[in-house]
Each structure stands twice: as C-alpha cells, then as structure tokens.
Amino acid sequence: MNSRERFLSACRLKPVDRPPVWVMRQAGRYLPEYRALREKHSFLDVCRTPELAREVTLQPLRRFPLDAAILFSDILVVPEAMGVNVEFADEGPVLTPRLDSPQALAALIDPDVERALGYVGLALDAIREGMGPEKALLGFSGAPYTLATYMVEGRASKPFSAIKTLAYREPALLHALLARLADVVTRYLRLQAAHGADAVQLFDTWAGELAPADFSVFALPYVQRIVRGLADLDLPVIYFVNGLGGLVERAVESGAAALGVDWRVSLADVRRRTQGKVALQGNLDPLELYGPADRIRRRVRELYAETAGAPGFILNLGHGILPDTPIEGMAAFADEATRLGGQP
C-alpha cells in the first residue's frame, strides 16, 4: 500500500496497514530551507509562482516520511480574487475595504476562477510532477465563515465583534456574503481537483468561536453547500474546525468525509460521538513537538490507541505546526507514525 492509497483509504473508512500522516503547515518557517527561500521572495510571490510553490510544498517530503503533500498557498487568495486587497503585515493579514455594508458586498468581483487563481492549478501540476504518483496531494480553501470573518473584521481580531454584530443585526447581509463565498470556494476546489488534488481540506479556523446554534446557521449550511457542489467528484473533503469539541455532532452533518480534530478534545470522545460515520484527523497539540523525542513518540502511540484501531484515522497535529518548532520534534513525530500498525 503506497502513501496515496493509504491516505485515500483512511478518508473512506477503509482498512490501512497504518494510519497516514501529514501535518498542517508542514511546509513553512520551521524549515531552514524555507527561510532561505523567503530571504529572496515574498510570501505572496511564493504562493503565486508555481515553481516556488512546488519547491516549498516538496521541502518537508524530502525530510520526513509523510504520506501527503499539501499545496503551499493561503486561504486569503479567495478574498483577493474577489477584489479585496490583502496585505501581510507583521501582526497578520490586513484586508481592505472591510465588508460591512451592502455597497461593499455589491463591489465584490465574481471571479473567473481559472483566470484569477489559475496559478494554483499550475502549482498543483508542478507539485504532482515533482513528487510522483505515490503520495497524496491535498488542496485546500478557507471555509466561508472563516473567510467572511477576515473580510468583515479586516483582520483576525478576537472577540470578532464586527462579524458577530453583523450576524445579529444584519443577518441577511452576512448570508449574502457567505453564499457568494461558498460558490467561489466550490469553483476553486473544483479547479484544484482538475489539477490533481486527491483530497481537499476546508479550514474553518474561526467557526469554533460561534455558539452551537449560530454554527448551524452561519457556518454549517455553507460547508454543506460546498460539499454538495463537489459531490460528482471523487474528492474526499476534510473539514477542520478549530474548537470542534462543542460542535462535533453538528460538524458530522457537513457531509465531509473526515473531520479535523483540534487537541482540546480527545479522539476517543470524538470517535464515540461520530459513531464511525466519518474519518478523523488529528490531533496532537503542536507544542508537544517542543518536548523530548521519547515523549513525542509515546504521545503518538497514545493517540493511535484512542482510535482502538478503527478505520478512518489520519495522524496530524491539532493545529498548524508552529514557526519555531524543533526539527527533531517533527522528525520524531513523523518517524513514529510509520511504526504504527495492527492493534494499538
């Protein structure tokens, strides 16, 4: 069983020889080769240049025994394609103008995704050529609620008062924005599938900030809309909500093949609550990789034990790997993953 077969089988709740492994943000600042490349190129230049995106995407696969590569890009390329100005400052992305009025919504572009985001397709082509057919290739997008949060707030600014005020005072305006985002994201993910993505992940980083009832109104329906829009493709969707614990049963209703699980909830608990209906991905605390190798290896085995050997488990962190993560920690995590198998 090669890596691609292992990954796709796990997504589909089929038996595997061992759980597949990859890591959110596995290509990035913790790698010295990435930092060297970034000394010459801006972040957005790397995202928009297929040859550079290919190089960065493949860097972690050269170091670690990972089963999947994930496209190097950013969720905010979608708002940018819709006419929003996106700048990456030291304190994080800044989006202008803010989407807080009917006039701002009307000014959004309905993009020709092939034209506006065609560089992503070219990057996926280049990545597949560079890594061959035996590893899984993942595409991704932000989910509508999380994208809307950035667009309405103008930045990631807890407690997210701007988007929640919009939701409570002008829900029709927010729903109109979410619907437009869902349509663009669907087309964007179809583009990725056409260029070789084996599976895609929807990042709903800020949906966990919603009360469960609001999640069912402002986040879930638009993820369901995207999943339905991809239903004719053989394309597993992984839905990652940061703060899944109180939303597990609702997230299962998304129709996604797998749920990404953050580290604040146990895999055993999520497995029980999902009743084997979906695959699970996760969920080591990213800060565990700062610990000694023997502890990291033990924690990997403990995570696997929480699954009780049931099909449908993808080993990952519970969030993205952090920029100053020790290489040795990532190496221990990935290596121990290859030693799993059989009954935990």
DSSP H or E stretch at residue 330? helix 327-338
Per-residue pLDDT tens digits for 36-51? 999 999 999 999 999 9
Residues of the chain above pLDDT 70, percent: 99
Per-residue pLDDT tens digits for 185-226? 999 999 999 999 999 999 999 999 999 999 999 999 999 999
State yes or no: pLDDT of 343 exceeds 70.
no
Identify the pLDDT of residue 92. Answer: 85
Please say whether the dihedral angle defined by the alpha carbons of residues 146, 149, 150 and 151, taken in this order, is positive or negative.
positive
Residues of the chain above pLDDT 90, percent: 95
- Tell me the C-alpha distance between 4 and 134, whole Å: 5
Rg of the Cα trace of the chain?
Answer: 19
Is the bond into 15 cis (omega within 30 degrees of 0)?
no
Rounded average pLDDT over 51-61? 98
Please say whether the structural domain 3-338 has been given the CATH code 3.20.20.210.
Answer: yes
Give start and end residues of each alpha helix (H) in 94-247. 102-106, 113-116, 118-131, 144-153, 161-169, 171-194, 212-214, 220-229
Q: Which residues contact 78 (CB under 8 A, 6 or more apart)?
A: 117, 141, 142, 147, 181, 184, 185, 188
Identify the pLDDT of residue 342. Answer: 56
For residue 315, the cross-strand partners are 21, 282
Active site positions, annotated: 25, 29, 38, 74, 150
DSSP H or E stretch at residue 137? strand 136-142
Per-residue pLDDT tens digits for 233-244? 999 999 999 999
Identify the pLDDT of residue 158. Answer: 82
Identify the pLDDT of residue 127. Answer: 98
Please say whether the dihedral angle defined by the alpha carbons of residues 263, 300, 304 and 258, taken in this order, is positive or negative.
positive
The average confidence (pLDDT) of the chain is 96
Per-residue pLDDT tens digits for 76-98? 999 999 999 999 877 789 999 99
Domain spans of the chain? 3-338
Per-residue pLDDT tens digits for 313-333? 999 999 999 999 999 999 999
Identify the pLDDT of residue 88. Answer: 86
